[in-house]
Structure 1
Amino acid sequence: MKKTVLITGASRGIGKATAEKFAIEGYNVIINYYKSKDKALSLLEHLLSSGANAIAIQADVSDRKQVEEMFKEGYKKFGKIDVLVNNAGIADMTLFTDITEEQWKKFFDVNVNGMFNCCQCVLPKMISEKSGRIINVASIWGLVGASCETHYSATKGAIISFTKALAKELGPSNILVNAIAPGAVDTDMIAGVSEEILETIKNETPLQIIAKPEEIADVIYLLSTEETKLITGQVINPSGGFVIV
């Protein structure tokens, strides 16, 4: 029986690359998207034409009812969900003194509460089956913080702590929970960053690179394999050495 993965925020960037990677590896793929319907449907068409089994489901991960409906639809289609990738997230650069209460709340609603909602919806069946993988997408800024991104850094730090705590709780149920903390990745999130700044980042990175989404997707997939069955509660840092902890 094929395994199934649900990836939040899968219409573009790291999420899209992750959907493609799991499809290549033979998984049923549930593509979650919120606003990027055209991109999600284009990805779905690509996966289906490549011979993969996939569906696309619109849901705002910060809305519990929408998340519950998404999982209900996913289970109805594929019967089980073996891997959950909490990738959906938002980011921007704002001086701390300019961050509004509404902005702060929105970041936690999407980046943290979205992960919380998805985990609570997937875990009853995973616990019952004593099997499952949860991979949460954090950031190097969750490890070391970023100037002018206090709200973003705070949510990514919360994801890391959440991951470690949940891994301890779910270990007896044979459910592995890990996080990845990428550095700069060539996605829409850095589309507005100047070439000068990107060159500086590359020069400050030991491997002298800006990661591609596909390279991050490879790490996410690796955490779903049998080869990593002893790894849980860890923060994998595919940043090219930009942050070494």
Structure 2
Amino acid sequence: MTMTTMEILEEKSIQKPLAGKVAVVTGGSRGIGAAIAKALAEQGAQVVINYQSNMECADAVVEEIEKNGGSSYAIQANIADSQDVNRLIEDVKNRYGKIDILVNNAGITRDRTFRKLSESEWNEVINVNLNSVFTTTSAVIEHMLEQKSGRIINISSIIGQAGGFGQTNYAASKAGMIGFTKSLALETAKSGITVNAICPGFIETEMVAAMPDAVKDSIVSKIPMKRLGQTDEVAEAVLYLTKANYITGQTINVNGGLYM
């Protein structure tokens, strides 16, 4: 049965902005990563959720996405391990045939004052937070260059800009993501690929919820907007960058005015 012109126009008008796009979100099983995955799926993307160990949380995100009419699946991989990452990316390409969006979100903290910081705590944070950005991007970059399009979005942190007491390892990893973003953006700008970073401030996640109330109150008192950020507010910035064609090499701050 042939569709009428009006039916075709109506179908196009209700088509979601990211329909047909394939997105990979590292650390997508909870917190900011889960919010990003849900937002991308809501806009029509097929979303691959990477997780390290919490399969139950990852499956719960997939279930919620599919319940709301989206398309998603979860895959375990240690993103600091290049062989594991290559397996993940090959799995995605075999299933969907392409990758349009890579969100490097996975991260950990091992907070210690520098005098007490061990070499293993330094290396663990650098490997998961920064080296993983190299491994995942290396695995997708040739594919994106061939298709002459792609969006790489790196979730850095306000700590990578302003520093944080007891967080030399975390700050170094997140600042490294910003430098990586700017340099790769220069190399890929002519090829239809944009590379940007987002620096969340203090966002209402499980990590922040675990802080003593006095510490949270002290943080909020310093935020001009006088509240913690929400995970979906970070996700909104990701959505904006997936659709932006003339923005690359930039750092978008989502911090309520705490760092300007």
Normalising by the smaller structure, the TM-score range is: over 0.9
1:77 Cα deviation after fit: 1.1
Residues 54-109 of structure 1 deviation map (CA, whole Å, 9 limit, x = unaligned): 11100010011110000011111111111100000001321111111111111111
1:189 Cα deviation after fit: 2.3
User: Percent sequence identity over matched residues?
Assistant: 38
Alignment match, 1:230? 246
- Structure 1 unmatched runs, 5+: none
How many pairs does the alignment contain? Answer: 242
| Aligned with residue 30 of structure 2, among 3, 12, 16 | 12
Q: Distance in 2 between matches of 1:181 and 1:5?
A: 20
1:188 Cα deviation after fit: 2.1
Alignment match, 1:156? 174
Q: Distance in 1 between matches of 2:215 and 2:201?
A: 14
TM-score by length of 1: 0.97
Q: Distance in 2 between matches of 1:70 and 1:159?
A: 21
* Secondary structure at the counterpart of residue 72 of structure 1: helix
* Secondary structure at the counterpart of residue 102 of structure 2: strand
* Secondary structure at the counterpart of residue 5 of structure 1: strand
Counterparts in 2 of 1:56 and 1:48: CA distance versus 1, 3 Å: same
Moved over 4 A (4+): none
1:235 Cα deviation after fit: 0.6
| Aligned with residue 227 of structure 2, among 209, 212, 227 | 209
- RMSD over aligned CA atoms reads 1.0
| Aligned with residue 177 of structure 1, among 195, 208, 219 | 195
Given the alignment of the two structures, is residue 84 of structure 1 paired with residue 102 of structure 2, yes or no? yes
The structure number with the bigger radius of gyration is 2
Given the alignment of the two structures, is residue 110 of structure 1 paired with residue 128 of structure 2, yes or no? yes
Q: Distance in 2 between matches of 1:7 and 1:95?
A: 31
Alignment match, 1:239? 255
* Secondary structure at the counterpart of residue 47 of structure 2: strand
Given the alignment of the two structures, is residue 24 of structure 1 paired with residue 42 of structure 2, yes or no? yes
* Secondary structure at the counterpart of residue 161 of structure 2: helix
Q: Mean alpha-carbon deviation: is it higher for 9-18 or for 183-192?
A: 183-192
* Secondary structure at the counterpart of residue 201 of structure 1: helix
1:190 Cα deviation after fit: 1.6
1:49 Cα deviation after fit: 2.1
Residues 26-70 of structure 1 deviation map (CA, whole Å, 9 limit, x = unaligned): 000001001111000111112122221111100010011110000
- Structure 2 unmatched runs, 5+: 1-18
Q: Distance in 2 between matches of 1:216 and 1:50?
A: 20
Q: Distance in 1 between matches of 2:80 and 2:253?
A: 26
TM-score by length of 2: 0.91
Residues 183-229 of structure 1 deviation map (CA, whole Å, 9 limit, x = unaligned): 0011122232111111121111111110111111111111101xx21
